[in-house]
Amino acid sequence: MSASAFIDLLTMQDLMMQPLDEWFETICRSYSHPPTVVDGLLLPGFPPDNLQANTTGQTGVATLKEAFVFYQDCVETFASLGAAIQYEHTLLDFGMGWGRIARFFLRDLPLANIHGLDVMDEFVEICRNTFRSTNFHATPPFPPSPLEAGTYNYIVGYSVFSHLSERACAEWMQEFHRLLAPGGMVALTTRGRPFLYFCESMKGQGHTGYLGALSSMFDDFNAARSSYDRGEFVHSNREGVSGGGAMTTEFYGETFIPRAYAARAYSHGFVLERFQFDPPRQSHPIMFFRKK
């Protein structure tokens, strides 16, 4: 059968009407049976499974499922906060990796209105090729970014503020304030408190690699939990949990931002509208902010 036999054409109206669960199936089909075309738009392709696993811990449908839950939470929570996504809006995926999250927003926004920013040139290249878009840009680990002020209605970041240092988070929040249009919204995930128990439970199990590093990122996990409960920013950049390569200990590790800190630390520029965490459905808490 020719490749074109797999091509799946839907009308624009079909796309906008597509219920969320059908949209998830469509994105999964773009992984299992590429190419998938929706309203003349070729859905983005995927990097090799080993790269997917290295960046997200999973591959294929499993990694897409995690991304879809975040996407769905963004769509529904933005709407419930009176900031529903409109077709003419513009979105920035901060730390977009290979575009796992960004692709889901093609249901709501034209490709031209979806942008991405990442510290890794390799990911920028992958997204430029797979999305066939020049809207993906490289950035230094600390702002300023090369992007224009007042441009975006939404900034989303999955599994980025679960790694950045306190200084990097603070500086990026300031940069997001510059990049957002008035009333712009931000959705960022961070590590949740249960993850401290998970990492502690790995201690003494003989793990090496990333799991071994997680188990020893704090000498005293009780102290880390107490610090979290006092509303403090909890971060480790010990060897093995800093990303390696371009992800240096200067700005990268494992990060747990409690609700009280999120509400207080960025209050000069943002209102924390919601701190959403519903495990096991969500693996990461999401902080929803509105630009003041």
Ligand X SMILES: C[S@@+](CC[C@H](N)C(=O)[O-])C[C@H]1O[C@@H](n2cnc3c(N)ncnc32)[C@H](O)[C@@H]1O
Answer yes or no whether residue 159 interacts with ligand X by CB under 6 A.
yes
Going by DSSP bridges, is the β-strand pair 91-94/114-118 parallel, antiparallel, or unpaired? parallel
Enumerate the H helices of the chain as residue ranges.
Answer: 12-17, 20-32, 49-56, 60-80, 121-131, 166-179, 193-201, 209-215, 221-229, 259-265
Q: Shortest Cβ distance from residue 180 to ligand X (Å)?
A: 16
Among 44, 47, 95, 285, binds ligand X (CB under 6 A): 95
Answer yes or no whether residue 74 interacts with ligand X by CB under 6 A.
no
With contacts defined by CB under 6 A, name the span among 32-40, 111-119, 195-203, 278-286 that binds ligand X. Answer: 111-119
**Amino acid in the structure at residue 189:** T
Of 54, 59, 57, 55, the C-alpha closest to 195 is: 57
Answer yes or no whether residue 46 interacts with ligand X by CB under 6 A.
no
Answer yes or no whether residue 120 interacts with ligand X by CB under 6 A.
yes
Tokens 């901060």 locate to: 94
Answer yes or no whether residue 185 interacts with ligand X by CB under 6 A.
no
For residues 19 and 25, give the distance between their C-alpha atoms in angstroms, rounded to a whole number.
10
Of 125, 109, 117, 124, the C-alpha closest to 141 is: 117
Which CB atom, from 38 or from 187, has the smaller least distance to ligand X? Answer: 187
With contacts defined by CB under 6 A, name the span among 12-20, 105-113, 152-160, 179-187 that binds ligand X. Answer: 152-160
Answer yes or no whether residue 135 interacts with ligand X by CB under 6 A.
no
Enumerate the H helices of 180-258 as residue ranges.
Answer: 193-201, 209-215, 221-229
Answer yes or no whether residue 196 interacts with ligand X by CB under 6 A.
no
The angle formed by the CA atoms of residues 169, 90 and 141, to the nearest 5 degrees, is 25
With contacts defined by CB under 6 A, name the span among 14-22, 38-46, 119-127, 255-263 that binds ligand X. Answer: 119-127
Q: Shortest Cβ distance from residue 189 to ligand X (Å)?
A: 8
Among 68, 251, 277, 289, binds ligand X (CB under 6 A): 251
For residues 153 and 158, give the distance between their C-alpha atoms in angstroms, rounded to a whole number.
17
Determine which helix (DSSP H) or strand (DSSP E) holds 288, and give its type and residue range.
Answer: strand 286-291
With contacts defined by CB under 6 A, name the span among 19-27, 78-86, 154-162, 195-203 that binds ligand X. Answer: 154-162
Among 34, 141, 212, 231, binds ligand X (CB under 6 A): 141
Answer yes or no whether residue 168 interacts with ligand X by CB under 6 A.
yes
What does the CA dihedral 181, 290, 80, 151 come to, rounded to 10 degrees?
A: 20
Answer yes or no whether residue 158 interacts with ligand X by CB under 6 A.
yes
In the complex, which residues of this chain contact ligand X (CB under 6 A)? Answer: 55-56, 95-97, 100-101, 117-120, 123, 139, 141, 158-160, 164, 168, 247, 251-252
